[in-house]
């Protein structure tokens, strides 16, 4: 049975379900649903809370605020969805005298990094999820599966969670693209400086206060290309302009773009432009 409590979190009975199955019994080894809960009429506001695992939170009704420490305070209302990520500190909850109806699921496992890379989860932002049909039902299904204590139901709960995250990823992606549009424009401007070697990738990452792995992820999400391939493509596009608009020799263009080996440069040009550089110039 789930736990029903009546104390300062809410004036109504709440449901908190802890995992009942040891991880060795699960068929899905790379993801595990942890504690899950439903807190109707939550009144408790929490400050400076740090979580050990990722969690997804959905507010069915009510209002309040959410802030990842270091970021800005964001308003939470009916239909809001947000994530907690491990190791970060949070302030969140309804205002004094207020309340909200909350579902949450925490989760962990090696698959989380894949979800993060593909945009199924994202920390630090509040998203509006009213457009996702049946989201409350999905949360209820996860709680019911976790409550049974059967290994197969714990696995099914993990699959339901992934389905839920896939549905949510569309609103996450939309907000992420809107909020990151100007940020990515600035990064692309700096990446363009790499064409002639005026700034290296480590400098760009440091300038924008991100790690190299985050820079790679941002560029791949924005362009579809791995970071170094994106740089090669920028350089080859510039080489094409130089072939069309100057009389520079191929080896001179190669050197200008910081390719010390003109044969390697020619192979890259053919790979990305579909034609050898000399033929490209001759086919103007």
Write out pLDDT tens, residues 235-281. Answer: 999 999 999 999 999 999 999 999 999 999 999 999 999 999 999 88
Report CA dihedral (217, 160, 39, 32) to the nearest 10 degrees: -70
Write out pLDDT tens, residues 41-57. Answer: 999 999 999 999 999 99
What is the pLDDT at residue 208? 84
What is the pLDDT at residue 173? 72
Categorise residue 208: left if φ over 0, alpha if ψ from -120 to 50, beta otherwise.
alpha
What is the pLDDT at residue 42? 97
Average pLDDT, the chain: 91
Position 4 pLDDT exceeds 80: no
Architecture of domain 3-178: Sandwich (2.60)
Structure tokens at 94: 């309804």
Looking at the chain, how many residues does it have?
A: 284
Name the band, by pLDDT with cuts 50, 70 and 90, for residue 6.
very low
Partners of 108 in beta bridges: 32
Write out pLDDT tens, residues 149-205. Answer: 999 999 999 999 999 999 998 888 766 555 566 778 889 999 999 999 877 899 998
* Domain boundaries, given as residue ranges, for the chain: 3-178, 228-282
Percent of the chain with pLDDT over 90: 76
pTM of the model: 0.64
For residues 6 and 56, the model is more confident at 56
Architecture of domain 228-282: Orthogonal Bundle (1.10)
Please check whether the two domains, 3-178 and 228-282, share a CATH topology: no
Lowest mean pLDDT among 9-23, 132-146, 205-219: 205-219
DSSP string spanning 87-144?
T-EEEEEPPTT--EEEEEEEEESTHHHHHHHHTS--SS-EEE-TTSTTHHHHHHHHHH
Write out pLDDT tens, residues 88-98. Answer: 999 999 999 99
CA distances from 42 to 59, 62, 135, 279 (A): 10, 9, 19, 69
DSSP-derived 3-state class of residue 274: coil
Position 124 pLDDT exceeds 70: yes
> Are 37 and 15 in contact, with CB atoms under 8 Å apart?
yes
């Amino acid at each position: 049975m789930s736990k029903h409590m009546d104390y300062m979190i809410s004036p109504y009975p709440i449901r908190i379900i802890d995992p009942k199955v040891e991880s060795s019994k699960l068929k899905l080894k790379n993801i595990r649903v942890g504690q899950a809960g439903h807190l109707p009429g939550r009144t408790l506001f929490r400050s400076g809370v740090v979580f050990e695992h990722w969690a997804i939170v959905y507010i069915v009704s009510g209002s309040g605020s959410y802030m990842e420490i270091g970021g800005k305070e964001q308003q939470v209302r009916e239909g809001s969805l947000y994530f907690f990520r491990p190791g970060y500190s949070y302030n969140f909850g309804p205002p004094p005298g207020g309340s909200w109806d909350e579902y949450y699921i925490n989760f962990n496992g090696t698959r989380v990094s894949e979800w993060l890379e593909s945009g199924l989860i994202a920390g630090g932002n509040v998203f509006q999820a009213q457009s996702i049909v049946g989201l409350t039902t999905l949360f209820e299904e996860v709680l019911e599966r976790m409550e049974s204590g059967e290994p197969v139901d714990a696995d099914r709960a993990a699959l339901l969670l992934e389905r839920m995250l896939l549905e949510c990823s569309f609103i996450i992606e939309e907000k992420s693209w809107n909020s990151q549009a100007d940020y990515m424009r600035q990064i692309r401007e700096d990446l363009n400086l790499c064409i002639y070697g005026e700034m290296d990738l480590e400098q760009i990452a440091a300038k924008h206060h991100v790690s190299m792995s985050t820079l790679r992820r941002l560029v791949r999400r924005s362009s579809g290309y791995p970071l170094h391939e994106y740089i090669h493509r920028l350089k080859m596009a510039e080489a094409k302009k130089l072939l069309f608009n100057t009389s520079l020799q191929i080896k001179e263009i190669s050197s200008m773009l910081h390719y010390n080996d003109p044969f390697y440069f020619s192979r890259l040009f053919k790979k990305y432009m579909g034609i050898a550089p000399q033929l490209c110039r001759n086919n103007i």
